[in-house]
């Protein structure tokens, strides 16, 4: 793989040797998200896992956004 960038290599590889943050999967309505828990019932979105195509355009589902979520729904 070739990476063409103007950034210094140290900046590109920053954090590469660190362990990733623990994530979990939650449902927010009809959207399945991978999040990093930041507090009880709150999480930072890492990525959208399952949704309708138009849900990708919703600004509140942008990776990095903070969401509130309920306990896992056992019926899913």
Total of domains in the chain: 1
Residue 24 lies in a domain: yes
Query: Across all residues in the chain, what is the average pLDDT?
Result: 88
Residue 11 lies in a domain: no
Tell whether the model's pLDDT for residue 9 goes beyond 60.
Answer: yes
Distance CA 6, CA 40 (A): 40
pTM: 0.71
Tell whether the model's pLDDT for residue 2 goes beyond 90.
Answer: no
Residue 32 lies in a domain: yes
Residue 73 lies in a domain: no
Owning domain of residue 61: 20-68
Collapsing DSSP states into helix, strand and coil, what is residue 57?
helix
Confidence of residue 76 (pLDDT cuts 50, 70, 90): very low
- pLDDT (average), residues 10-17: 88
Residue 63 lies in a domain: yes
Residue 41 lies in a domain: yes
Residue 44 lies in a domain: yes
Percentage above 70 pLDDT, the chain = 92
Residue 59 lies in a domain: yes
């Amino acid at each position: 793989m070739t990476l063409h960038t103007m950034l210094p290599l140290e900046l590109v590889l920053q954090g590469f040797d660190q362990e990733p943050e623990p994530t979990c999967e939650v449902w927010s309505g009809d959207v399945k998200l991978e999040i990093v828990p930041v507090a009880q019932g709150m999480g930072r979105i890492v990525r959208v896992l399952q949704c309708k195509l138009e849900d990708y355009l919703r600004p509140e589902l942008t990776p990095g956004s903070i969401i509130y979520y309920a306990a896992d729904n056992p019926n899913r």
